Chain A
């Protein structure tokens, strides 16, 4: 049996109280933090994600598991700062300039976080220059942009162009999504990839960073 079975079960069930208490216990006992993160939290979320993709788990249950994991992660935050543990990658995310619809973007952010990525969520209506400045500051592995309205889609190539001008386009992977966005459009504007839904974004991010 997995040493962290109780935590894993609590994350599965979305039992925040137990998960946090058990995480604290593990830390107090001096557990290997990286091992705990990988086995107790990320592995569980991978399973949850898998069950969700297969249509066994419903969105609120999956998000509740993600939220439970986030609460546990708060206790691990100091170890990230010390460099004891590493995230799968840094993702900068936001809806593009002119677009205020953020439900899809929020789902993607939560699922990526559950999969072990570190998320910087810039919110909505993000100007290309803001994406660039933040990217220069935090040096993300992936920039994720979303648009719900066809009229705001042109902000995506504008942002990619701005990254290009700033000389950092080749340092990040750009992924896009949103109702009117298509794979063809992603190719046209030279984004690295497109995800049709929040679930797809996790595999997308992993494969772009060679983690699969």
Chain B
């Protein structure tokens, strides 16, 4: 049997049909046109007024839908993030999914004691170094809110620490126009100048408006700065269902999208063509504890729906989350919730996916969980890649050989030897050993194995160092007033 080339179908999740997409989009535009929003940044307010928005009571803005449509026309449909050595490692386009950690946890699970403790700058260093050593983690993010640096420069120090400990792209947080300028300065030092940075940007800013419908001045300072400098930015508000937004997912999505689109409009009015990631964070507020859940099925569901909205309508790369949990320790709940969001975010083709390694609804960062998720991402990729069909994979010749030649078996056939590495997922941390061997090896659970693997990577993995003069220039920027 001779086969012509058959393209491999890669399984994909779909949540919204076109009618649903249009209905939610229309609702978002209606929020902007009829309800309006509070814009507390004078410059942005002026820009919006000049562009055709109506301003009431000093800072309440109503926005005509055509401004959104215009912004969607000018925002780029693909964003390339480079690593710090100039390689294009994160093309945010089409079906590409990239995973990485989150930011700002107050606590971390100590690798040595296993106890929850307050985060320090060294934790940011460890997470960045671990990301650098994990194949399926594509970018660094601070993962801590270090208590041992001056609070007014907390994000500058965290950024500098990441730069020193990884060469992968960095997603960063800033507070205002002041510290983001310092962070940009450090990024240019790493790239070897502003022009070099512009050609191969390796950073992306995460900023949030406040749901419902509030746009603080310091947040807009960052948005405008990023637009001017063409630093890619995502602008998800926390429109969690029941807290910042209505309890029903459709309304929470419409509100979150409306807020996201305000960001997009200001961004594109500032600098047409500057890179902007689509997508709000639409989780749920837990109705018993009032925490914003990181393990709920709803967040995975809404971001899959947002990915459909990207496909049908917006066309912009999409921001998302995965690999997080509400569990307080890395237990079965953590594994289940983590995998749920990892596989669904990949199946729905979210692009930039953060928060991997969060426990306690984002209160605790866990190095071990990041290591676990590295393997869960690999597992999910196997599934998402689908099943290639060709003469080699159908293996009719091997079947003929083994079936007709007495004493032969697939395990010894050349076809197996040649293909097994690609044909199967070969886990490193998920245990498939026989019971006795498992007992002999210490009867470890996944948490224990992730702990050991994390320690091994942190001890052995070498990160290419930046030149001394760059490092000392970075330290100077940190200390600038």
Check if B290 sits within 8 Å of A182, measured CB to CB.
no
Give A128-169 as 1s and 0s: 1 = Cβ < 8 Å from B's Cβ atoms: 000000000000000000000111011000000000000000
For residue A58, which residues in chain B have a CB less than 8 angstroms away from its CB? 287-288
Q: Which residues of B contact A154 (CB under 8 A)?
A: 151-152
The answer to whether A55 and B214 have CB atoms under 8 Å apart is: no
Q: Does A60 contact B (CB under 8 A)?
A: yes
Chain A residues near B214: list those with CB within 8 A: 100
| B290 lies within 8 A of A59 (CB) | yes
Q: Does B268 contact A (CB under 8 A)?
A: no
Contact status of A179 and B106, CB under 8 A, knowing A151-B175, A153-B151, A184-B118 = yes
B-contact 0/1 string along A57-94, CB 8 Å cutoff: 01110000000000000000000000000000000000
What 0/1 pattern do residues 197 to 212 of A give for CB contact below 8 A with B? 1100000000000000
Residues of chain B contacted by A179 (CB below 8 angstroms): 106, 363
When A100-B216, A150-B104, A179-B363 are in contact, do A60 and B287 touch as well, CB less than 8 Å? yes
A103 at the interface (CB under 8 A from B): yes
Cβ of B289 within 8 Å of any chain A Cβ, yes or no, is yes
Measured as residues with beta carbon below 8 angstroms from the partner, the interface class of chain A is 20 to 34
**A123 at interface (Cβ–Cβ under 8 A)?**
no
Which residues of chain B in 103-138 are interfacial with respect to chain A, using CB atoms and an 8 Å cutoff? 104, 106, 118
* A107 is an interface residue with CB less than 8 A from chain B: yes
Q: Which of A103, A149, A182 has its CB near the most chain B CB atoms (within 10 A)?
A: A103
- Shortest Cβ distance from B152 into A: residue: A151
B243 adjacent to chain A (CB < 8 Å): yes
CB within 8 A of B290: which of A151, A153, A198? A198
A13 within 8 A of B: no
Across-interface contacts of B287 in A (CB, < 8 A):
58-60
Query: Is B154 interfacial (CB 8 A cutoff)?
Result: yes
CB-nearest residue of chain A to B247:
A60
Contacts of A52 in B (CB 8 A): 288
User: Is there a chain A Cβ closer than 8 Å to B470's Cβ?
Assistant: no
Q: Which of B182-222 contact A (CB under 8 A)?
A: 210, 214, 216
Judging by beta carbons under 8 Å apart, are B106 and A59 in contact?
no
**Chain A 91-117 per-residue mask, 1 if CB under 8 angstroms from chain B, else 0:** 000000000110110010000000000
Q: Given A100-B210, A197-B289, do A150 and B363 touch, yes or no (CB 8 Å)?
A: no
Within 8 Å CB of B285, what residues of A? 59
Cβ A150 vs Cβ B244 within 8 A:
no
* Cβ-defined contact, A101 with B210, below 8 A: yes
- Counting CB contacts under 8 A, is B167 at the interface? no
| Contact string against A for B residues 227-249, beta-carbon threshold 8 Å, 1 for contact and 0 otherwise | 00000000000000011100100
The distance in angstroms between the C-alpha atoms of A182 and B151, with both chains bound, is 15
Residues of chain A within 8 A (CB-CB) of B210 are 100-101
Complex CA–CA separation, A101 to B211 (angstroms): 9
Closest CB of chain B to A179's CB: distance in Å?
7
Which residues of the partner chain A approach B363 to less than 8 Å between Cβ atoms?
179
Residues of A close to B345: CB separation below 8 A: none
Q: Is the CB of B106 within 8 A of A151?
A: no
Least distance between B146 CB and chain A CB atoms (Å): 9
Q: Does B371 contact A (CB under 8 A)?
A: no
Tell me the bound Cα distance from A60 to B246 in angstroms.
Answer: 12
A170-201 CB mask vs B (1 if < 8 Å, else 0) is 00000000011010100000000000011000
Query: Which residues from B are CB-within-8-Å of A184?
Result: 118
- B145 in the interface, Cβ–Cβ < 8 Å? yes
- Asked whether A107 lies within 8 Å of B106 as measured between CB atoms, the reply is no
State whether B290 touches A180 (Cβ < 8 A).
no
Give A149 Cβ to nearest chain B Cβ, in Å. 8
Smallest CB gap from B243: residue in A:
A103
Instruction: Given A55-B288, A100-B216, check contact A182 B243 (CB 8 Å).
Output: no
Instruction: Kindly list chain B residues whose C-beta atoms are within 8 Å of the C-beta of A198.
Output: 290
B290 and A197 form a contact (CB under 8 A) = yes
Q: Chain B contacts of A100 at CB under 8 A?
A: 210, 214, 216
Contact A180 B145 (CB under 8 A): yes
Return the chain B residue nearest A56 by Cβ.
Answer: B288
Contact with A151, one of B151, B242, B247 (Cβ below 8 angstroms): B151
| Contacting residues of chain B (137-151) with chain A, CB-CB under 8 angstroms | 145, 151
Instruction: Give A150 to B118 CA distance when docked, in angstroms.
Output: 13
Q: From residue B111, how far is it (CB to closest CB) to chain A in Å?
A: 20
A201 CB to nearest chain B CB (Å) = 12
- With the chains together, A103 CA to B238 CA distance in Å? 12
Contact assessment for A180 and B175 in the assembled complex, using a CB-CB cutoff below 8 Å? no
* B106 surroundings in chain A (CB, below 8 A): 150, 179-180, 182
Q: Give Cα A197–Cα B285 distance, bound, in whole angstroms.
A: 14
Q: How far in angstroms is the closest Cβ of chain B from A23?
A: 28
Given A101-B210, A103-B244, A182-B106, are A150 and B288 neighbors across the interface (CB < 8 Å)? Answer: no
Kindly list chain A residues whose C-beta atoms are within 8 Å of the C-beta of B242.
59-60
User: In the complex the two chains form, what is the Cα distance from A82 to B106 in whole Å?
Assistant: 47
Taking A179-B363, A197-B289 as given, write out 12 further A-B residue pairs in contact, using a Cβ cutoff of 8 Å, ordered by the A residue number: A59-B285, A59-B287, A101-B210, A103-B244, A149-B175, A150-B104, A150-B106, A151-B151, A151-B154, A180-B104, A182-B118, A197-B290
Interface residues of B (CB under 8 A from A): 104, 106, 118, 145, 151-152, 154, 175, 210, 214, 216, 242-244, 247, 285, 287-290, 363
- Interface of A with B (CB < 8 Å)? 52, 55, 58-60, 100-101, 103-104, 107, 149-151, 153-154, 179-180, 182, 184, 197-198
21 contacts across the A-B interface (CB closer than 8 A): A55-B288, A58-B288, A59-B242, A59-B290, A60-B242, A60-B247, A100-B210, A100-B214, A100-B216, A103-B243, A104-B290, A150-B106, A150-B151, A150-B154, A151-B151, A151-B152, A154-B151, A180-B106, A180-B145, A184-B118, A197-B290
CB-based closest 5 A-B pairs: A58-B287, A151-B175, A150-B145, A180-B106, A59-B287
